[in-house]
């Protein structure tokens, strides 16, 4: 689900080759391989955390490998197909069933029973986030939720203050007012954000995914993309060609749009990129109450082929529970998933404080729901959704053609 892709391709401590995962030596020490995606800054923070782990567990050495998001999964697929995946790796909800069906993921339940991995002390039920069919396939390291990032100065200039419970109608009126008074699109292009569409569906008693496939109809998606196409043509949504040209910069910080739906912990990026002041606004609702939101998370998973499941579990436990790790990682992977880490890191940065307050408000208000199940192939569905939505918005495909093609590709990906 979460795509932090910045940074160079320089690898830090390339993974060890060989048959099977991990290695051992005559003095009883072992080496495990840890891989993740992200930026150079994330790599720096993770390597500092690993240094602490190796100090606490001197007989466990950790070899590391990191890549940008797309490159990570290309390499991981190659390793998994060859029977040599890393012992422990960063994971996301959209990949759990896929790699479980490929017999890649370690069920960590046995390590919990053995006392090598704790599931107590997690915030807001996050310890259940990596549970699939009774198996524990991932452990959360941080939480996030969908939010609307806004240019606060611009919203203030037009007198718009988004509040919890505001409706989609009020949201659309706000976008039109911004377009008409500021000469800027109100939104960057919400029609291509799969996880936002999931929330919209959930507000109507449906969901993007069921356990076995798609949870919506061609008519549902036709309605969503028809409104998206109309928004592009009216200037309420930013011109998709200009948005593409601005990448990797956000449409908001490139001053093409006043707002953008994304994960709340990405808000830090906007302050670094842009010249204005940016903040988090609530998700619009259908009935003034239900947002459909849930807490998502990056996770750590283990390889079923690892020779060192105990050490893998100890490493995961350390990375999600140790308070000092929280002070190093900050909100890089979301708001810390465990209470111990959440309380250990007190952000001083205004944007980080906003992120923490935003998630706390979601917890306190009781709007959070259980995440929609993600079947094997969900990652392919997400990529197709983004691509076809952009082709539709650019006028390269009609709405009916884009919808038909999406269902064709999704059914193939999901085996349905």
pLDDT greater than 80 at residue 26: no
pLDDT greater than 60 at residue 316: yes
Beta strands in 123-190 (DSSP E): 131-132, 135-136, 139-140, 142-143, 146-151
CATH class of 23-143+296-345: alpha beta
Residue-wise pLDDT tens digits, 150-207: 999 999 999 999 999 999 999 999 999 999 999 999 999 999 999 999 999 999 999 9
Would the pTM count as exceeding 0.75? yes
pLDDT at 17: 32
Name the 3-class secondary structure at 97.
helix
268 contact partners, CB below 8 Å, separation of at least 6: 331, 349, 351, 352, 355
pLDDT at 143: 93
Domains 23-143+296-345 and 146-293+377-414 alike in fold: yes
Domain boundaries, the chain: 23-143+296-345, 146-293+377-414
Q: How far is CA 69 from CA 6, 7, 33, 111, 273, in A?
A: 9, 10, 18, 28, 20
pLDDT tier at 10, thresholds 50, 70, 90: very low
Contacts for 275-278 with beta carbons within 8 Å, 24 or more apart?
Answer: 276/151, 276/152, 276/153, 276/154, 277/151, 277/152, 277/153, 278/149, 278/150, 278/151, 278/152, 278/252, 278/253, 278/351
pLDDT tier at 268, thresholds 50, 70, 90: confident
User: Which architecture, in CATH terms, is 146-293+377-414?
Assistant: 3-Layer(aba) Sandwich (3.40)
Residue-wise pLDDT tens digits, 57-108: 999 999 999 998 889 999 999 999 999 999 999 999 989 999 999 999 999 9
Residue-wise pLDDT tens digits, 324-347: 999 999 998 899 999 999 999 999
- CA pair distance 110, 178, nearest whole angstrom: 55
pLDDT at 166: 97
């Amino acid at each position: 689900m979460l795509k932090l892709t910045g940074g160079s391709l320089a690898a830090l401590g390339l993974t060890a080759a060989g048959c099977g995962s991990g290695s051992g030596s005559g003095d009883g020490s072992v080496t495990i391989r840890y891989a993740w995606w992200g930026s150079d800054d994330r790599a720096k923070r993770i390597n500092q955390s690993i240094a602490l782990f190796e100090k606490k567990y001197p007989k466990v050495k950790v070899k590391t490998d990191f890549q940008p998001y797309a490159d990570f999964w290309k390499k991981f697929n190659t390793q998994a197909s060859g029977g040599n995946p890393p012992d422990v790796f960063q994971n996301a909800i959209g990949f759990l069933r896929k790699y479980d069906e490929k017999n890649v993921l370690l069920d960590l339940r046995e390590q919990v029973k053995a006392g090598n991995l704790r599931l107590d002390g997690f915030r807001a039920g996050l310890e259940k986030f990596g549970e699939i069919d009774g198996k524990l396939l991932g452990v959360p390291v941080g939480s996030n939720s969908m939010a609307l990032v806004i240019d606060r100065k611009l919203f203030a200039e037009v007198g718009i203050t988004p509040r919890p419970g505001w409706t989609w109608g009020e949201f659309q009126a706000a976008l039109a007012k911004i377009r008409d008074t500021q000469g800027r699109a109100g939104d960057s292009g919400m029609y291509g954000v799969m996880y936002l569409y999931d929330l919209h569906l959930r507000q109507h008693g449906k969901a993007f995914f069921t356990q076995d496939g798609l949870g919506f109809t061609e008519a549902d998606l036709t309605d969503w993309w028809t409104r998206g196409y109309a928004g592009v043509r009216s200037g309420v949504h930013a011109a998709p060609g200009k948005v593409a040209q601005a990448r990797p910069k956000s449409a908001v910080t490139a001053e093409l749009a006043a707002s953008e739906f994304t994960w709340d912990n990405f808000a830090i990026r906007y302050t670094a990129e842009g010249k204005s002041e940016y903040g988090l606004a609530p998700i619009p609702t259908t009935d003034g109450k239900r947002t459909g939101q849930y807490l998502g998370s990056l996770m750590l998973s283990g390889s079923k082929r690892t020779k060192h499941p105990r050490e893998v579990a100890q490493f995961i436990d350390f990375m999600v529970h140790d308070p000092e790790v929280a002070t190093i990682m900050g909100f890089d992977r979301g708001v810390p998933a465990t209470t111990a880490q959440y309380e250990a890191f007190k952000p001083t940065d205004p944007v980080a404080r906003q992120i923490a307050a935003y998630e706390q408000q979601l917890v306190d208000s009781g709007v959070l729901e259980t995440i929609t199940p993600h079947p094997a192939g969900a990652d392919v569905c997400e990529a197709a959704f983004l691509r076809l939505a952009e082709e539709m918005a650019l006028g390269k495909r009609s709405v009916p053609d884009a919808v038909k093609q999406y269902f064709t590709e999704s059914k193939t990906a999901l085996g349905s």
